[in-house]
Structure 1
Amino acid sequence: MDFGRQPCGEGQGRGRGDEGESGSRDRRQHPLRRHRPHLAPSQWNRRQPADAGPRPAIPRPPPPAARRRRHRPLSTTRPTQSSGPPGDGRADRVGCCRHGRLEDRGRVDRGVRRTGALRRTPVAAAPGDLAGRLDDLLGALPGPPAAWGALVWDIDAARVVYARDERRLFVPASNQKLVTTAAALLRWGGGHRFPTVVCGPPPAPDGTVAGDLYLKGFGDPTLARAAYQRRELHLRGATVEEIARRLWRAGVRRVEGDLVADDSWFDAERRVAGWRPSLAAECGALGALTVDGARAGERPVADPALHAGRALLAALRRRGVAVTGAVRRGLTPAGLPVLATVRSAPLAAILRRMDKDSDNFVAEILLKGLGKDAVGLGSTAAGAAVCRAALRECGLAPGEAFVADGSGLSSDNRLSPLGLVRLLVALRQRPDFRVTWQALAVAGRDGTVRDRLRDTAAAGNAHVKTGTLADSVCLSGYVRSANGHRLAFAIMVNGEALPIASVEATLDGAVAALAGADLPGPLRLAAWPGLRQVPVSASGLVHPRGGELQPCVQP
């Protein structure tokens, strides 16, 4: 509608509907334009004469169309855990956590209103050339005949991209560390720290401790000498030098007694039953009190507690504290005062060390710690029970996984590609998913894949966990396709005398193909105004704030 132009004379201005570009700019620049629209811009700061007469009627345009109100999402959606296969009716259930309202938090459809239930909408099938290429790559594995299985799940589109023998159980090798990661995050959280304490009689005014000092460990897998921690672990945690410094600050100058090492927090088993003898060098001796990964140079030590006590004794002497006695094993008496306490790096940093570099020792110590914290037994068997409970909480059925250790060195571990992908999707739904994401090795950048997948679409893109034994080569993790679809995948190969380097190159080619694929179809997780209420278990993966759970459908 054209409102025409009004004459702009003395005491009379233009109408609001016909300001043009200059009028709009003037109104924005000068606040009085809104309060004195009947005046010309030159008269905005002048007072209206008392005898000026009535103001002329100014035609006004109709009110603009009501702007669409932008609702800020409550971000309270939590997809319930599902163990069913795609399309069985259970995989797309969504529970609400607040005010009975469902919504889509993720970047699934920015053009729709964000309050509503998540709906599984039709999408196109995966491109045949991608499936054919994966079949060609994995079906022609080098070396002797080997069993293999794979599953690729599109997290954004909630559909299977590729699947071959995905329910078959395989030896997962170090992919087992993903189970330990999930159990540790469920039990402790990324900010958990492990203490190490020194107890003994209070020092006299002259700094003399009349009695023994007791060094007690609580399962810190990264307690080390400062030089070893910088060179090997690449994190900042508790060190024996820090313990000596804290004792010095507490006034300790001389110890008239022994230095007693107490590792009674865990059991006395130094190895996991069922490990092959050839794998003895792959992990240090297990215990609640260890220093430098229970290693002396390149070889494991026989008694990790005595090794830790000797390391502290050397640090005390360098600090200037005299110890008249020897280092021995023993138990800390109840009620003895604590003279010094140090704490490990946060669990998030420890998981980065464990997963990126596939540290077997850290995984086994964490497993025993889980057992001690959950059921009061610092044993591998107790920790394995905690891991099985964590897998059930993440949507895996009891028969879909067997846990024998925390590192994957045991050939008794079993996982399927389907179980691994379900675990990856469940971890992504958690509010602390960033911990898992940062713990995985980045293709072509760091960790066990520092020199793999370079100059491919997966470089810097795929976050993966590797697994390698003489009879098992596995690769699982997350990767983003060429058109932005986020994928969770697991590829597992088992066989006798595998040519490891060639099999790894084949698996790398499959991941590079996923990263370069242009997956069809719209995103399947779309906000829908229909309301569905599904009971949410109190033991489910619900953050106390409820707002950071990612909308996911499990395979």
Structure 2
Amino acid sequence: MKKYLLSLTLSLLFIPIVLWGQNTSAKSLSSRLDTLIKYQLPAGSNVGISVYDLTTGKSLYTYQSDKLSRPASTMKLLTTITALARPDADEPFKTEVWYQGVIERDTLKGDIYVVGGYDPEFDDEALDSLVNTVSRFPFSVIAGNVYGDVSMKDSIYWGSGWAWDDTPASYQPYLSPLMLNKGLVTVTASPGEKGEMANIECVPASSYYTVTNETQSRTPSAGRFGVSRDWLQNGNDVIIKGNVESKRIGTVNIYSSQDFFMYTFLERLRAKGIQCPAGYAFNELQKDSLSVQMALFETSTQDVVNQIMKKSDNLNAQALLCRLGAQATGKKRISDEDGLSAIRKQIKALGGDADSYKLADGCGLSNYNYISPDLLVSLLKFAYSRTDVFQKLYKALPIGGVHGTLKYRMQRGTPSHKNVHAKTGSVTAINCLAGYLRAANGHEVAFAIMNQNVLSGAKARAFQDAVCDEVIK
């Protein structure tokens, strides 16, 4: 009996000590983060922070966590998590070629349709794969028409609130269900003899665009190397300028992704010896008894998500948003709003008020997006609760100091090195970071840091890294 009473007494004495230790630890974190905000938050800027311990199910710290902020590319977390939570999330992105008609002797008496499924990873090799498969059919003459089917998405080729003067940038594509190489041309310039033009290689190769080479090899006075086009007039003459001292690579988007795709598709069919119509048109495939699938190219959802997270790929996020809309509604013709409605429904399912936020696109390029750190953490908590979702998301997120958009942050020797898996987000005056980290005590933590009105991205990133370091300690 005495032994029992002694054990009970010690237990009662121990409980307040443990609780006191936990409280002081929490207070210590709050105090450290408050100090960071006071002394290291860039002058004139603002921040919202939410930190949640997934292991204990408790909030660790909040600061203006319910305030609306522009998310930049952390918006991709909402799109991706919502899409991955669907039962049909693993369906691949498809690009198909069909014909309608009959093949008699050496001639296809009918029409060919290239049906776009909004595959954002469809590249030069994928196009060759389609063309090679089609060329193996027993005809060398197409007596009908060749159509591109882009009916999956409306004809609005930019997202709501995208900046017009970002037009030639590689991160702002012309959106279409038929995309070749993300609608981009990659230019590789190799130097020749001093003063001579550099040698130029363009991928994908196509006569849909022209090239003007104004470079000079090993000539500093030629100015900075650059690749552009007459984007104000929607021109597709790729202009390459400047000094090429060593191998240089540049990219530029091409006006009208769907035309770029179809023009190049026909060009490569002709190169295979197939006699094609002089041009192409756009029309929707209406399948009937004479419809035959000729070729199929598929890209896995995981490959698309990997690019969204590690490379912060805007096209991939918009493609996933469109596919989300198609899956959620069952409709064939989709607008961005269909995908955004699915995200709002997910927010409501988690107990949030979707009307309290502004969702304008799936990637974060839009100036109209407004969400909060609390909302980001809510979605991250949900993803963590779903093993099927979390595994796909977590493996795609950049790792601090290792790869993706965090490769050159959180370097070796800092607490955050290899312990932070998170999505970055950056546009002018906006810098955000949201994801997961593993604390020193082994706990898994979800967090969101949304810096606003800070012109120095370097200072904002240093502040965010410091916050992560403190949470991990």
Amino acid of the residue matched to residue 305 of structure 1? Q
Question: 2:184: which partner in 1?
Answer: 295
Q: Deviations over 1:320-343 (max 9, x none)?
A: 433243233333344251332424
- The offset of 1:442, in angstroms, is 1.1
Give the whole-Å Cα distance in 2 for the aligned partners of 1:445 and 1:206. 58
Match of 1:458 in 2: 416
Q: Does the Cα contact within 8 Å between 1:190 and 1:346 map onto a contact in 2?
A: no
Q: Which residue of 2 aligns with 1:404?
A: 360
CA distance in 2, matches of 1:394, 1:343: 36
Q: Where does 1:47-126 land on structure 2 (aligned, <5 Å)?
A: 124-125=22-23, 126=25
User: 1:359-386 CA distances to partner (integer Å, 9 max, x unpaired)?
Assistant: 1111112222222333324111222111
> Could you tell me which of 404, 407, 423 is aligned with 1:447?
404
Which amino acid in 2 is paired with 1:469? V
CA distance in 1 between counterparts of 2:354 and 2:315 reads 27
3-state SS of paired residue (1:331): coil
Partner in structure 2 of residue 98 of structure 1: none
Secondary structure in structure 1 of the residue aligned to 2:35: helix
Cα displacement string for residues 449-472 of structure 1 (whole angstroms, at most 9, x for unaligned residues):
111111122222211000111121
Tell me the residue number matched to 1:354. Answer: 308
- Please tell me the residue identity of whatever aligns with 2:350: C
Q: What residue number does 1:224 align with?
A: 123
Contact 2:423 2:433 in 1 (8 A): yes
2:85 aligns to what SS in structure 1? helix
Deviation at 1:269, TM superposition (A): 0.4
* Shift of residue 207, structure 1, vs aligned partner: 4.1
Q: Is the 8 A contact 1:400 1:416 kept in 2?
A: no
Q: Distance in 1 between matches of 2:38 and 2:299?
A: 44
CA distance in 2, matches of 1:438, 1:333: 39
SS at match of 1:322: coil
**How much has 1:252 moved relative to structure 2?**
4.1
Distance in 2 of aligned mates of 1:514 and 1:460: 14
1:34-53 equivalent positions in 2, closer than 5 A: none
Give the Å deviation of 1:480. Answer: 0.5
Equivalent residue in structure 2 for 1:506, among 451, 459, 463: 463
Letter in 2 for 1:162: Y
Q: C-alpha displacement at 1:216, in angstroms? A: 1.3
Secondary structure of the corresponding residue to residue 177 of structure 1: helix
1:364-416 residue CA offsets vs partner (Å, 9 max, x unmatched)? 12222222333324111222111111222234332443211100111221221
Aligned partner of residue 178 in structure 2, secondary structure: coil
Structure 2, unmatched stretches of 5+, are 1-17, 187-250
Distance 1:371 1:397 in 2: 20
What aligned pairs does 1:358-507 form with structure 2 within 5 A after superposition? Answer: 358-375=312-329, 376=331, 377-432=333-388, 433-455=390-412, 456-495=414-453, 498-507=455-464
- Which residue of structure 1 aligns with residue 282 of structure 2? 329
Give the aligned length.
383
What is the deviation of 1:489? 0.7
Task: Compute the displacement of 1:352 (Å).
Answer: 0.8
Which of 91, 94, 97 is 1:192 aligned to? 91
Corresponding letter in the other structure for 1:275:
W
Q: Distance in 2 between matches of 1:400 and 1:479?
A: 28
Contact 1:364–1:407 under 8 Å retained in 2: yes
Code of the aligned partner of 1:508: D
Aligned partner letter, 1:500: G
Larger % of strand: which?
A: 2
Q: Within 5 Å, which residues of 2 pair with 1:193-342? A: 193-201=92-100, 204=103, 206-226=105-125, 239-280=126-167, 281=169, 282-297=171-186, 298-335=251-288, 336-342=290-296
Check if 1:174 corresponds to 2:73. Answer: yes
- Residue type matched to 2:147 in 1? V
AA matched with 2:285: T
CA apart distance, 1:254:
3.1
Contact 2:134/2:295 (8 A) holds in 1: no
SS of the equivalent of 2:177 reads coil
Partner AA of 1:490 in structure 2: A
- Matched residues in 1 for 2:271 and 2:165: separation? 38
SS of structure 1 residue aligned to 2:305:
helix
Q: Does 1:148 align with 2:106?
A: no
| Partner amino acid, structure 1, of 2:153 | F
Separation in structure 1 between the aligned mates of residue 100 and residue 59 of structure 2, nearest angstrom: 64
SS of the counterpart of 1:210? Answer: strand
> Please, what TM-score do these two structures have when normalized by structure 1?
0.65
Q: Which runs of 4+ in 1 moved over 6 A?
A: none
Distance 2:446 2:139 in 1: 54
Structure with the larger helix share: 2
Could you list the runs of 5+ residues in structure 1 that have no partner in the other structure? 1-120, 227-238, 518-555
CA RMSD of aligned residues (A): 2.2
C-alpha offsets along residues 180-209 of structure 1, whole Å, 9 cap, x if unaligned? 002211235442112222122456364421
Report the Cα offset of residue 173 of structure 1. Answer: 0.8
CA distance in 2, matches of 1:348, 1:271: 24
The answer (yes or no) to whether the contact 1:261–1:309 under 8 Å persists in 2 is yes
Residues 202 and 339 of structure 1 are in contact (CA less than 8 Å); yes or no, is this contact kept in structure 2?
A: no
Percent identity for Structure 1 against Structure 2: 28
Match of 1:414, SS state, is coil
1:445 and 1:128 map into 2 onto residues whose CA distance is 31
Q: Distance in 1 between matches of 2:79 and 2:106?
A: 44
Aligned with 2:22: secondary structure?
A: coil
CA contact (8 A) 2:130 2:297 kept: no
- AA aligned to 2:180 is V
Structure (1 or 2) with the larger CA radius of gyration: 1
Rounded Cα–Cα distance in structure 2 between residues aligned with 1:374 and 1:156: 32
What secondary structure is seen at the aligned counterpart in 2 of 1:402? coil
2:325 partner amino acid = G
CA distance in 2, matches of 1:346, 1:424: 22
For 1:190 and 1:201, how far apart are their aligned partners in 2? 31
SS of residue in 1 equivalent to 2:36: helix
Displacement after TM superposition at 1:494 (Å): 1.0
